[in-house]
Structure 1
Amino acid sequence: MISTFALHPAASKRLIARATAALPQVQNAYQNGKIFIGHGTTNAALISELTGVQIDDLTPYVSGVVSNHAPCATDAATRKQPWCIEKGKIIAADWLEFLDGFQAGDVFIKGANAVDPQGNVGILIGNPTGGTMGKAYGTLMARGIEIIHPVGLEKLVPSCLEAQTDLGINHAGPRIGLQLGYIVLHNSTIITEIESIAQLFGLKARMIAAGGIGGMEGSVILSVKSDEASRLEDLVGTVKKLNQTPPAKISKKKCTHCPNPCLMKEE
């Protein structure tokens, strides 16, 4: 038997967050070690799944955002610190100092802006010193810390390496949105809808199409095969509930506050 269905981006974020929270290495680090969780809408959903904390206003927990017709950013002055979790408790800490205490078994979770079929992820960089990954990557690689990227297949691109080729903040010309750099990571754990369905339902999913209208823009269309009707029914029931998730509402920074204005004009 084959089940087919579509997940819109907000539904996918919740599914991926749920699966990421259930990963054995995440559960182990949550109970016994440390977890860093970066900004982002999927990661905000992950915090809710992992800790039960509900976040009503997402804007302070998002840095970069594609919204209001442009790849832009939130107002840095209103942002909260990324989440630092130690032995099951969210703690108030400078995240770089927190990262300095990481050891084997701790986990670093960061969203992504792109994922490709070769298992690479791409992260857009609006900060001239590399943002979160630019500051953390050396420490993570030196200590062998696992990096997990919860990322939806709406962000699937042909090649992150090719995408990186010409980008760089100092190369920016006429544009709509931020000046952009790009980091490619190839040695991370990637959790898309496909891995999420395997983790939560023990089923193998395939991406068969994408897109939509009327609130389903950016949707991923999947097929799942199983001989067990009950497992497919459980999955489809979950999908129906997840697709009731409303889209995230994020406020980007005002154009008048931008130090490097683009061709976007605030209405």
Structure 2
Amino acid sequence: MKALITLTSSESKRLIAKGIKGMSSIQNAMEKHTVIVAGGTTNAFVAEELLGIQLEDKTSYTMGIVTGGELGVSKSSKKIPPYVIANGQSQEISWKDCLPKLQRGDVFIKGGNAVDHTGLAAVMVSDSMGGTIGAAQGTLCARGIELVVPIGLEKMIPDVRAAVEFMTKSSVDEAIGNKVGLIPMVGATVVTELSALEILYDLEARCIASGGVDGSEGSVTIAIEGLDEEVQRAIQDIKSLKGEPQVKVH
């Protein structure tokens, strides 16, 4: 059976978060190890799914934000620091203090701003020291700790490597909004809507179109195919998350 589904940006974020929760490495880390959920609006959805909580202001869980047609910084007055989850429970510890203690089996979750057809993802940073990924990536690579990147297909660009190489040739002189750099997240486990669907259901998924109007800007249309019961189960679950509120700047 083949079916079509269309997801708004927020619906995609919710689906991706559910896919993250369904990953075997995440389930193992939630049970026996440590999961760090770095800042980001998609990661706010991930934190909700992993901890069974609700974050009314998703922009409180991010520093950088693209809104109003500009590169900016969240102005939320209720900033929430990244969650550190050990053995399934949120801990009162800074992720930076936890970073040196990470071991194989732990997982670091970091959102991104760009992904290409090869599965390479990158994140924009305005901090001169590389922000969160600049502080974490060396440790993660050196210790073989899984970096999971939840990222919607609305952020698909032609070539991440080419974009990174172009950005690193020289510094940015002017910008509409904040000046940023672009850091690739090589070796990361990238989770899009497609991989989330394949994690949650026994089916194949392909993105066949993107875009829309009147609140559906950034939407993606996906074809799914598999056994009738799996496709029907996926459709029913997708229907249950339809109407996910857009992430608003408070």
TM-score category (smaller protein):
over 0.9
Q: TM-score under structure 2 normalisation?
A: 0.95
Q: TM-score under structure 1 normalisation?
A: 0.89
What is the one-letter code of the residue matched to 1:236?
I
Q: CA deviation at 1:241?
A: 2.5
CA deviations 1:125-170 (Å, max 9, x no partner) are: 1111100010111111111100000111111111111111232597
Distance 2:40 2:235 in 1: 27
- Equivalent residue number for residue 199 of structure 2: 199
**8 Å contact 1:124–1:183 — kept in the other structure?**
yes
Within a 5 Å distance, the mapping from 1:92-171 to structure 2 comes to: 92-167=92-167, 171=171
Q: CA deviation at 1:190?
A: 0.7
Confirm or deny that 1:56 pairs with 2:56: yes
- Equivalent residue number for residue 230 of structure 2: 231
**8 Å contact 1:109–1:148 — kept in the other structure?**
yes
What is the one-letter code of the residue matched to 2:44?
A
What is the one-letter code of the residue matched to 1:233?
Q
**8 Å contact 1:169–1:181 — kept in the other structure?**
no
Distance 2:183 2:234 in 1: 34
Distance 1:48 1:111 in 2: 15
CA deviations 1:238-262 (Å, max 9, x no partner) are: 22232210101134xxxxxxxxxxx
* Larger CA deviation: 78-87 vs 36-45: 78-87
**8 Å contact 2:71–2:179 — kept in the other structure?**
no
Distance 1:3 1:76 in 2: 39
* Partner SS state of residue 105, structure 2: coil
Distance 1:193 1:76 in 2: 27
Q: CA deviation at 1:4?
A: 1.1
Confirm or deny that 1:24 pairs with 2:24: yes
What is the one-letter code of the residue matched to 1:134?
G
- Equivalent residue number for residue 43 of structure 1: 43
**8 Å contact 1:108–1:147 — kept in the other structure?**
yes
CA RMSD of aligned residues (A): 1.7
Q: Which blocks of at least 5 consecutive residues in structure 2 are unaligned?
A: none
* Partner SS state of residue 165, structure 1: helix
* Partner SS state of residue 119, structure 1: coil
* Larger CA deviation: 166-175 vs 151-160: 166-175
- Equivalent residue number for residue 241 of structure 1: 240
**8 Å contact 1:128–1:169 — kept in the other structure?**
no
Distance 1:174 1:147 in 2: 32
Percent pairwise identity: 35
**8 Å contact 1:194–1:206 — kept in the other structure?**
yes
Distance 2:91 2:168 in 1: 34
Distance 2:211 2:165 in 1: 27
- Equivalent residue number for residue 184 of structure 1: 184
What is the one-letter code of the residue matched to 2:154?
E
- Cα pair distance change 1:115/1:199, threshold 3 Å: same
Distance 1:169 1:218 in 2: 30
- Equivalent residue number for residue 212 of structure 1: 212
* Partner SS state of residue 101, structure 2: coil
Larger Rg: 1
What is the one-letter code of the residue matched to 2:241?
L
Distance 2:178 2:78 in 1: 18
Q: CA deviation at 1:229?
A: 2.4
What is the one-letter code of the residue matched to 1:110?
K
* Partner SS state of residue 6, structure 2: strand
Q: Which blocks of at least 5 consecutive residues in structure 1 are unaligned?
A: 252-267
Distance 1:216 1:78 in 2: 28
Q: CA deviation at 1:186?
A: 2.1
Q: CA deviation at 1:19?
A: 0.8
